[in-house]
Structure 1
Amino acid sequence: MLLSADLTYITLVQGQAANKMLMRGFTSLRDVGGPVFGLKRAIDEGVIAGPRIWPSGAIISQTSGHGDFRSPAHDLPALPGRHAHFTERWGWAAVVDGRPEMLRAVREQLMKGASQVKLMAGGGVSSFYDPLDVVQYSEDEMRAAVEAAEAWNTYVVAHAYTPEAIQQAIRAGVRSIEHGQLIDDETMEMIADNDVWVGMQPFLDDEDAITFPDGSPSRLKFIQMTQGTDKAYELAKKHGVKLAWGTDVQFDASLAAKQGKQLAKMTRWFSPYETLKMATHDNAQLLALSGPRNPYPGKLGVVEEGALADLVLVDGDPLKNIQLVVDPDKNFVVIMKDGKIYKNSLE
């Protein structure tokens, strides 16, 4: 739907999805790619109900990278004067090559209101033209993005799975790695030494896997990627890295409804306490990394005087039974954001 539907329709569906996410107990999110500035404004102004959004704007991709949605048969070569692809015009992606183009693309996202910037540093599962093992962008191109973001006192997050892509991103100054499932011990140690965050997802080839056609390149890449998930979490624990929890379900609305189930899966590697702390307190520290570009100043992830008043009242003890978060409709009896109650089934 993202690549075929009318943008107005997609925007309306976004609004409905935002409300449902809030009703699942998620009051804040970091969006790492896509045109959500209008959605964020509508939520902030109270037009619709939804979580706070830390937006990245368009994902920034090299030509043929994870984020280049153009057709090689119809859209190449990209000659001067040719119209931008619709995914670029709509704000899904920015395909840029070279330092000057990178500086412009990053500055454009910051101009739109990005709280951090997202680069594609390596191959992806869902993309059509880039193998999983490739390193994307040169170190100098990535450093240009970091320089532009740091000039605005914020940071760059990079999509990367492999050691080579992650190491280059860290050398360039990236502060947060998204995914990392194919990481090795040396690279995880490098992450810890450089105080870099890892935003990882519990990707498994199970009943909740993102669906790709059997035998397709994306399906084969997905299998390869998920085979590294267990090791990646174990290495993260070994080196004590700053670990955030997130989801990546943009291709299937039914998977978005299973965010609680994805959170509960974290107990495959962590205790219920560690899991809930990661999704609340720890994630809040990552959101604060945007510094003065943080669109919502105030403390998150804690319950104390002066903090942003977000609370979820659970019918039961999730520290003893983490499965309670799988069914928020039934088990979340009060949901509060900014001191306003959006759900109260106690009445």
Structure 2
Amino acid sequence: MSYKLFTNAVLIDGNGGEPVENVSLLVEGDKIKEIGKKISAPYADELFDCRGNTIMPGLIDAHMHLGLVEIEIVNLARRNAPGLMAAKMFNNLRSALDQGYTYARDMGGADAGFRDAVEQGLAAGPRLKVCGAALAQTGGHGDDRLYSETRPYSEPVLGFRSVLADGAPEVLKAARENIRRGVDFIKVMCGGGCASPSGGPETLQYTLEELKAAAAVADSVNTYVAAHCYSSRSIAQSAEAGIRTIEHANLMSRDTALLVKKKGAFIVPTQITYEIVIEKSRDLVSKFIYDKFIAVCERGYEAIHYAMEAGIPIGGGTDLTGSNTRYASGAVAYQAKAMGPMGAIVAFTKTNAKVLKVDDVTGTLEEGKFADILVVKDNPLDNIELFKDHRHNLLLIMKGGIVHKNILV
């Protein structure tokens, strides 16, 4: 058994409490063995002097798309053969770990093989939860056909994957087929989106009966449904159907937030994706898509405030595409605009662990949990913008007791 000792750290444990100075942390194998003011471990194989920098849990991305390998995703699967797509996706997987994410949830694109490749040590990256292909209605978000096309829809092998299912019987069958393929949860498209070639975020897709069918399949195998939603109508209908996690939620009203709280759902905002497109990628997307990003960005921060008022548990995700994935670590900083630095850190650690149903093993720095650890330069509570520069400010990244990066000096 190997032992690793961290000393002289400021501790942010992910629970939301005040930081604690001059803390030591001992890792035994892949778990945290002890946290305290003074730990004597002369037998430690490695010693990491944090020199007053901050030790905190590894980040968790509750809404990522390994398969969105280009910024403009329309026709994505037609431009990338499956082998090339897989190579790009594995590159994105490693990049996520490079940016401090030690656990992640892929929201439609990666099959169970990506999860298994990480678990078996065949690929570098965060541990994964996957949903395979999202369930979408004909003509809805996930149906990539243009209005001028008459071809039948076909599910891509990899990339941005959806399967079309209309009516409760088809939804039941599609959800069951996903379960058969080894997914961890089910995703449904409950409204329009920013990246689709038709429709807008304000729309409602899928009926209550169809959504309940998906929820019933998930419940039968002790898992859950995540719903792509922007409009208040789609959010409310998802909550009524018993859907557990509501993704994006930018156009949620105050009244709808109260319903979401009553039904016990999470929301998972993805503010960084709009901000980065607006800041850095204006010329790389169509005006149609750019205008949709503009329309939902500020409303997303308003929705987070409504969620905080209502007491909804708030996670967070990146949802970035193409070369913009290199900015993923900054998701914490953008969410802090609404939640404050500590609120955003908790969202991307403890709460996201609950979203993924892995809070018993990760998400906070506690004895017995996985040694998923970041050492961050200085104190991110004083400057949350530190997360936007992972190359210089994430000094050490450890996943399950294994050091992935170390530039502590």
- After TM superposition, the score normalised by the length of structure 1 is 0.89
- Rate the CA distance shift 1:49–1:222 in 2: closer, same or farther, 3 A: same
Pairwise mapping of residues 23-42 of structure 1 onto structure 2 (< 5 A)?
23-42=98-117
Task: Please identify, of 157-166 and 225-234, the stretch whose mean Cα deviation from structure 2 is larger.
Answer: 225-234
State how far apart, in whole Å, the 1-side matches of 2:158 and 2:361 are.
Answer: 35
Match of 1:201 among 263, 270, 274: 270
- Give the SS at the match of 2:132: coil
- Rate the CA distance shift 1:41–1:183 in 2: closer, same or farther, 3 A: same
Answering whether residue 100 of structure 2 is matched by residue 7 of structure 1, we say: no
1:220 is aligned with what amino acid? Answer: D
- Give the SS at the match of 2:93: helix
Deviations 1:226-263 (A, max 9, x none): 2412311221121121100111112x32x211112232
Pairwise mapping of residues 226-305 of structure 1 onto structure 2 (< 5 A)?
226-250=297-321, 252-253=322-323, 255-288=324-357, 298-305=360-367
- Rate the CA distance shift 1:178–1:90 in 2: closer, same or farther, 3 A: closer
Q: Percent identity?
A: 30
Match of 1:330 among 357, 369, 392: 392
- Rate the CA distance shift 1:164–1:209 in 2: closer, same or farther, 3 A: farther
Deviations 1:147-181 (A, max 9, x none): 00100111101111111111111111111110111
State how far apart, in whole Å, the 2-side matches of 1:193 and 1:57 are.
Answer: 29
Answering whether residue 123 of structure 2 is matched by residue 48 of structure 1, we say: yes
- Rate the CA distance shift 1:206–1:127 in 2: closer, same or farther, 3 A: closer
2:312 is aligned with what amino acid? Answer: V
1:52 is aligned with what amino acid? Answer: R
1:314 is aligned with what amino acid? Answer: V
State how far apart, in whole Å, the 2-side matches of 1:94 and 1:46 are.
Answer: 30
Contact map agreement 1:70 1:85 (CA 8 A) in 2: no
Answering whether residue 403 of structure 2 is matched by residue 341 of structure 1, we say: yes
Task: Please identify, of 205-214 and 111-120, the stretch whose mean Cα deviation from structure 2 is larger.
Answer: 205-214
- Rate the CA distance shift 1:227–1:329 in 2: closer, same or farther, 3 A: closer
Match of 2:379 among 294, 311, 317: 317
- Give the SS at the match of 1:341: strand
Deviation of 1:270 (Å): 2.1
Deviation of 1:12 (Å): 0.7
State how far apart, in whole Å, the 2-side matches of 1:231 and 1:271 are.
Answer: 14
- Give the SS at the match of 1:333: strand
Deviation of 1:88 (Å): 6.5
Contact map agreement 2:140 2:191 (CA 8 A) in 1: yes
Question: Which residue is equivalent to 1:308?
Answer: 370
Answering whether residue 286 of structure 2 is matched by residue 213 of structure 1, we say: yes
- Give the SS at the match of 2:369: coil
Question: Which residue is equivalent to 2:183?
Answer: 114
Match of 1:93 among 159, 162, 187: 162
Question: Which residue is equivalent to 1:127?
Answer: 196
Contact map agreement 1:69 1:87 (CA 8 A) in 2: no
Deviations 1:65-92 (A, max 9, x none): 000123444444x5xxxxx515268881
2:199 is aligned with what amino acid? Answer: D
Contact map agreement 1:88 1:95 (CA 8 A) in 2: no
2:310 is aligned with what amino acid? Answer: H
- Give the SS at the match of 2:356: helix
- Rate the CA distance shift 1:142–1:56 in 2: closer, same or farther, 3 A: same
State how far apart, in whole Å, the 1-side matches of 2:128 and 2:400 are.
Answer: 14
Deviations 1:201-243 (A, max 9, x none): 22447414675223x2x23322222241231122112112110
Deviations 1:93-137 (A, max 9, x none): 101111111111111111112111110001111112223332111
Deviation of 1:17 (Å): 1.5
State how far apart, in whole Å, the 1-side matches of 2:295 and 2:117 are.
Answer: 39
2:171 is aligned with what amino acid? Answer: M
Structure 2: any 5+ residue segments left out of the alignment? Answer: 1-69, 71-75
Question: Which residue is equivalent to 1:154?
Answer: 223
Answering whether residue 137 of structure 2 is matched by residue 62 of structure 1, we say: yes
Give the count of matched residue pairs. 330
- Rate the CA distance shift 1:89–1:25 in 2: closer, same or farther, 3 A: closer
Question: Which residue is equivalent to 1:186?
Answer: 255
Task: Please identify, of 59-68 and 315-324, the stretch whose mean Cα deviation from structure 2 is larger.
Answer: 315-324
- After TM superposition, the score normalised by the length of structure 2 is 0.76
Match of 1:223 among 294, 297, 302: 294
Deviation of 1:31 (Å): 1.0
State how far apart, in whole Å, the 2-side matches of 1:286 and 1:54 are.
Answer: 11
Answering whether residue 183 of structure 2 is matched by residue 144 of structure 1, we say: no
- Rate the CA distance shift 1:88–1:135 in 2: closer, same or farther, 3 A: farther
Deviation of 1:334 (Å): 1.6
Answer with 1 or 2: which has the greater Rg. 2
State how far apart, in whole Å, the 2-side matches of 1:220 and 1:322 are.
Answer: 28
1:36 is aligned with what amino acid? Answer: D
Contact map agreement 2:250 2:303 (CA 8 A) in 1: yes
Structure 1: any 5+ residue segments left out of the alignment? Answer: 79-83, 289-293
Contact map agreement 1:313 1:335 (CA 8 A) in 2: yes
